[in-house]
Amino acid sequence: MATTYTYTADENGDQVQDSGPAKMPSYVAKRLNGSKKRFKKKGTPAEREAAVEARRQAILAEKQNKARKYINKVEAYASKKAAMKESDENEGGKENDYSEKVDDSQI
């Protein structure tokens, strides 16, 4: 059975006490703690899921309102166009008749 010995030495060959992992610089530790606080999950999973669903519904309602507004605009344009076409048919197109009028007596 083999026995393994491990020790750490510095550049002079002196043995160094094992102090565990390297310590983080204080400014990095401070920034990390600030990030942890800022991005910490708030509320229970059910509350977070309810908030997500509420945001989804708000976005969907906004899209539906925008679509309804556009549909109403198109329908108004179509009805206006149909009314204009109907009025032109009723008048017989007299307003747009640009042909010359000739009396038979002059011929």
Q: Residue 61 burial (CB < 10 Å; 0-12/13-18/19+)?
A: exposed
Residue 64 lies in a domain: yes
Q: Which of 32-41, 82-91, 96-105 has the least mean pLDDT?
A: 96-105
Residue 95 within any structural domain of the chain: no
Number of domains in the chain: 1
10-68 pLDDT tens trace: 666 666 666 666 678 899 989 988 888 888 888 899 999 999 999 999 999 999 999 99
Asked if the structure places residue 51 within a domain, the reply is yes
Pairing of strands 8-9, 15-16: antiparallel
Tell whether 94 is covered by a domain: no
How far is 94 from 60, CA to CA, in rounded Å? 50
Would residue 60 count as lying in a domain?
yes
Angle (CA) 82 68 74, round 5°: 20
pLDDT for 41: 85
Indicate whether 98 pLDDT > 90: no
Domain encompassing residue 54: 43-89
The confidence score (pLDDT) of residue 55 equals 97
**CB atoms closer than 10 angstroms to residue 88:** 13
Assess if residue 72 is contained within a domain: yes
65 occurs within a structural domain: yes
73: in domain: yes
Tokens of 5: 């010995």
